[in-house]
Amino acid sequence: MTAKHRRETAYIEGMRPQDILIPAPAGLCCKPGGFHIDPVRPVERAVITHGHSDHARPGHGAVLATQETLDMMRLRYGDNFASTTQAVRYGEEIRLGDVTIKFHPAGHVLGSAQIAVTCKDTCIVASGDYKDAVDPTCTPFEVVPCDVFITEATFGLPVFRHGDAADEVKKLLASVALFPERAHLVGAYSLGKAQRVIALLRQESYDAPIYLHGAMEEITYYYQSRGITLGELRPVKGVKKADLAGTIALAPPSATSDIWTRRFPDPVTAFASGWMRVRARARQRGVELPLVISDHADWDGLTATIAATGAGEVWVTHGQEDALVHWCKSRGLAARPLDLVGYGDEEEHEVVAANEAEA
Ligand SMILES: [Zn+2]
């Protein structure tokens, strides 16, 4: 049965995709399953795609997520972040009300998952945040054939092409070699990006200790506890300024522009983000060394993934929806923006964390 045929059959049976999943104020709601996906307000039962704070919030009744996502929520919010929790493995099928759900790797950060929701013969995949690029710190993205694919659109414009992250890390190492008397301070999101940059540095045979801002110590050590090889890591705190010459340190993006940087000798400020493709953004932030490294799919990744799922219908959310909706329609796919609020740049959610961790 083709996806198109399945959709038509589902329609005849009275089960349209929007009867299975629908945008609600609390987030994407599955009425026949009795749960929300990545709810932004407290709900009875939440199914959570990954640990970033705009997707994983505290205060729900029951939370279903991968073990890693549950652990990350526990680290950030404490033991009582939900009434009950259930760890779900990739590939495991779970019955909830009238639907079954199945988690598949999203390749975004450690433990990140796409959620496939199947009701009768209709399968909808809520992919959360995802990327199809290689990342040594998490399970690779998996294409899940479906009738309706829900895609993010953080970098949903043709101008966004991320290139090879390894080349960006080589740029960083070239700068370290060029300025041995200066420290290199790399702004990176605490969850995912920082660990990926470290792993990429190790892949380029950089084996010196890498220094961490206090706000990223715990989550980075957690990655190590899950078997991700990151080499020798040291806290920045307590290290003499002179001893930081020639070193690489990672910090949340907000810390790289504040008083905290005074503890480094003449720091070169770098920032690892997909937004660094936009020169004006780098300039505006005072970034000397922009590194185009993203944990979100770029334009080519988004369009290739949509095509690969075989979905006849695409729902586009958080980001630059219009161009992607247009692209889908021009290829004969049904497509619409999904009006969900409360998701966005991880960076905005990091400011508080960084300020709390280390003055
Ligand atoms: Zn995310």
pLDDT score recorded for residue 280: 87
189: CA distance to ligand 1 center in Å?
Answer: 10
pLDDT score recorded for residue 179: 97
Look at residue 348 and tell me whether its pLDDT is greater than 80: no
CA 42/CA 36 separation, integer angstroms: 10
Backbone angles phi, psi at 327, to 5 degrees: -60, -45
Share of the chain above pLDDT 90, in %: 85
319: CA distance to ligand 1 center in Å?
Answer: 12
322: CA distance to ligand 1 center in Å?
Answer: 20
Query: What's the pLDDT band for 2 if we cut at 50, 70, 90?
Result: low
Report, as an integer, the average pLDDT of 304-323: 95
346: CA distance to ligand 1 center in Å?
Answer: 6
pLDDT score recorded for residue 347: 52
3-159+296-344 is classed CATH 3.60.15.10: yes
Pick the range with the lowest mean pLDDT from 6-20, 156-170, 307-321.
Answer: 6-20
* 259 or 124, higher pLDDT: 124
Do 222 and 197 meet the contact criterion of CB atoms below 8 Å apart?
no
90: CA distance to ligand 1 center in Å?
Answer: 18
Look at residue 290 and tell me whether its pLDDT is greater than 60: yes
266: CA distance to ligand 1 center in Å?
Answer: 32
128: CA distance to ligand 1 center in Å?
Answer: 7
287: CA distance to ligand 1 center in Å?
Answer: 23
Asked if domains 3-159+296-344 and 165-291 share a fold, the reply is no
Q: Which segments of the chain are extended strands (E)? A: 22-24, 27-30, 35-37, 45-47, 60-65, 82-87, 93-96, 99-105, 113-119, 122-126, 148-153, 184-187, 210-212, 233-235, 248-251, 268-272, 289-291, 313-319, 334-337
Look at residue 41 and tell me whether its pLDDT is greater than 50: yes
Pick the range with the lowest mean pLDDT from 120-129, 139-148, 166-175, 336-345.
Answer: 336-345
Within 8 A by CB and 6+ apart from 182, the residues are 245, 246, 265, 266, 267, 268
Report, as an integer, the average pLDDT of 88-99: 97
Query: Average pLDDT of the chain?
Result: 92
Look at residue 293 and tell me whether its pLDDT is greater than 80: yes
DSSP state of 252: -
55: CA distance to ligand 1 center in Å?
Answer: 7
| Unique residue bearing structure tokens 């760890």 | 87
CA 52/CA 76 separation, integer angstroms: 10
What CATH number labels 165-291? 3.40.50.12650
Look at residue 44 and tell me whether its pLDDT is greater than 70: yes
Instruction: State pLDDT tens for residues 171-224.
Output: 999 999 999 999 999 999 999 999 999 999 999 999 999 999 999 999 999 999
Instruction: State pLDDT tens for residues 215-265.
Output: 999 999 999 999 999 999 999 999 999 999 999 999 999 898 888 999 999
pLDDT score recorded for residue 130: 97
108: CA distance to ligand 1 center in Å?
Answer: 7
pLDDT score recorded for residue 355: 41
Locate the domains of the chain by residue range: 3-159+296-344, 165-291
Look at residue 353 and tell me whether its pLDDT is greater than 60: no
